[in-house]
Amino acid sequence: MLDKLTKNNRMRIRKIRKIERETPTIKTFYFKDDLCAKAEPGQFVMLWIPGIDEIPLSLSGTYLKNEVSVTVAKVGEATSHLHQMKVNDFIGIRGPFGNSFKISKSKVLLVGGGTGIAPLAFLAQKLVKTSQKIKFLMGAKTKSELLFLERIKKILGENEKIVATTEDGSFGLKGTVSNPLEHLLKNEDFDIIYTCGPEQMIKHVLLTAQKYGIEVQASLERIMRCAIGICGNCVIGKYRVCKDGPVFSKSQLEEMLDELAIFKRNFDGTKEKI
């Protein structure tokens, strides 16, 4: 166990092998790494942008010959620098860290928003081989920001298995994932919801799932520094997101209801209202 932690925590310098633009603000970066190639959906890496910062990113896929990817939205300093990098530039990688989504053989619903769709697309690739039934509910502000629509269509095989929403109504249903979520749970049978995305959305999914008595697994985000459970920067309730998560069960999420989508922690660890 200690060996694995030490091994995964060692920084490896890797070359960017391929970059794909997914949306006007999101790009996917591919690199080779033998440890990350064994990662499961939900696990994350710490990616070092030389001279700038090190940031947590979920793995968005593993492929042949130890190739893996991360899918990154440009939101601030580090992600803007990463977006400017080119094929053959070098990055540093630690990880993979954290737990992963537990694969279910039953009837599953995936609910993703923004870059939260990235680890869920990776998960869908695994679930499609085992689950009795699978449906993907995905949301974005506008059509051009709807991540991985084509990839998810290919994974699931049928359009009817996808429900898309956009806040401006430019694609799919107008609004957020909230309305179709309630409709789906009322009219169809699901055993578990996997979710990742904005924390307000995750909280809404949790509260709706409580109403219909459905299990939930949600991947959370917090500012991270060490990623191995030491610094305390990522604490929510009694949990460290890097070590106890980032994927939490419904009962764990219920324990953090007084912080979930209410408080975040700053870079100095202080709590701030969202």
Residues that bind ligand FES (CB under 6 A): 224-227, 229-234, 240, 242
Nearer to ligand FAD, 54 or 134 (CB): 54
User: What is the closest distance, in whole angstroms, from the C-beta atom of residue 3 to ligand FES in the complex?
Assistant: 20
Q: Which does 76 bind (CB under 5 to 8 A by kind): ligand FAD, ligand FES, none?
A: ligand FAD
User: What is the closest distance, in whole angstroms, from the C-beta atom of residue 118 to ligand FAD in the complex?
Assistant: 5
CB atoms near residue 51 (< 10 Å) = 6
Nearer to ligand FES, 111 or 224 (CB): 224
Non-local (6+) Cβ contacts of 56 within 8 A are: 44, 45, 46, 47, 97, 221, 224, 227, 242
Nearer to ligand FES, 103 or 223 (CB): 223
Binding residues among 71-130 for ligand FAD as defined by CB under 6 A = 71-73, 75-79, 115, 118
Using CA atoms, how far apart are residues 238 and 27, in angstroms rounded to an integer? 34
Our finding on whether 57 is near ligand FAD (CB under 6 A) is yes
Sheet holding 26-32, edge to edge: 12-15, 90-97, 44-49, 53-62, 67-73, 26-32, 18-23
Binding residues among 177-236 for ligand FAD as defined by CB under 6 A = 221-224
